Amino acid sequence: MNKELRKGLRTWIEIDKKAIAHNYRVFRNLIDKKCKLLAVVKSNAYGHNLMEFAKEQEKLGVDFLGVDSVVEALTLRKEGIRIPILVLGYTLPEMLSEAASKNISITVSNFETLSVVIKSKLKIKIHIKVDTGMSRHGFLENDIEEVLNKLKNNKNIIIEGLFTHFSMAKNPSFPAHTNSQIEKFEKWREAFIKALHKPLCHASATSGTLLYSKAHFDMVRIGISLYGIWPSKESEAYMGDMISLKPVLSWKTIIAEIKKLPKGAKVGYDCTEVLKKDSVIAVCPIGYWHGYPRALSSIGKVLINGEKAKILGRVCMDIIMIDITNIKNIKVGEEVVLIGKSESSEISADDISALIDGSSYELLTRINPLIKRIYI
């Protein structure tokens, strides 16, 4: 990357637009031409920058964008995004008017919200959410008749969608629960069609799209894999020979200081690391405030010129110390890779998450949104 693009930055994130396009095409090719694709860009686009990532998806031709809140949706509208947006999370009653005026579709998942929407008399697009086995947001199986009765003869509400969410679709070895959810959703789908409604039916997020083609219905919702991350090791093992995903995000910092320390020197807070030999350490201006997990203390590794360097001692709020004893010709200002590739070596979000028994979803979404994302 051109150094001018990261001038003045001690840490930054690079976003690969070619990788974004590649992952988009992978999922377009997996679904029927008539099936719509919703790109999930909630939570700052999984840490990749809400506005920029959404704009890339719009350029590529995505049909819908999925966000968590009306606030996120309004941010996209202010940035000039014109394609359909669905709020997947709970919408506060006081936000209904703005959602309607900006052509933002909302999720209705309980009778309280449905009553508020009906009483508002707003012309608003809604997606009815059904709880088929996640035990989270959504109407229950025996609510079908009452929901349809409340929607009857209501001319203001536009029933744009009907959807559910799978809870165990990431592992193809255990399909029973997902198949049960599909069957329950089919009952809702048939009831809505019988009542002369024609909503966009969608059930599959990334895992469901990869592993359950019968559940593609009218639209799929793709999140984590648009960013080049497999939703699970099991889905990668099952589909990895058929499709390839390209990680979109790289996270980098620099070396701010280098020092030689003798054997026995204690490193960092609480002196948790004691050097076993004379060593050369480097200090990098990155820490848990930036979203780099404190759990990586004394076990994490970073990359410098293709070589791995171990983290020494505690990850601090804004600083990490690394062992560069065996890496030659290193100087202050040298680029350090936290997530991504350096020459022939790579540290992925999955690698880090596995090391701390965490989740790549959590790791990526917790990267501080104030860190500049550079789209290249």
Residue 332 gets which letter from DSSP? T
Provide the residue type at 344 as one letter. S
Is 42 tagged catalytic? yes
CA atoms within 13 A on the CB side of 170: 9
What 3-state DSSP class applies to 286?
A: coil
Q: Which residues contact 303 (CB under 8 A, 6 or more apart)?
A: 309, 336, 337, 340, 341, 342, 345, 346, 347
Sequence-separated (6 or more) residues with CB below 8 Å from residue 212? 166, 169, 175, 178, 182, 204
Active site residue 269: yes
Q: What is the dihedral of CA 165, 137, 76, 83, to 10 degrees?
A: 50
Give the ranges where the chain is alpha helix by DSSP (H).
17-30, 42-47, 50-60, 70-78, 96-101, 111-120, 144-151, 176-194, 206-211, 233-239, 349-355, 360-365
SS3 of 8, please?
coil
Question: What length does the chain have?
Answer: 376
Cα three-residue angle 244-246-248, rounded to 5 degrees: 160
Residue tagged active-site, from 78, 214, 269, 372: 269
Q: Are strands 266-267 and 273-274 parallel, antiparallel or unpaired?
A: antiparallel
Instruction: State the catalytic residue, choosing from 42, 129, 170, 252.
Output: 42
Catalytic residues: 42, 269
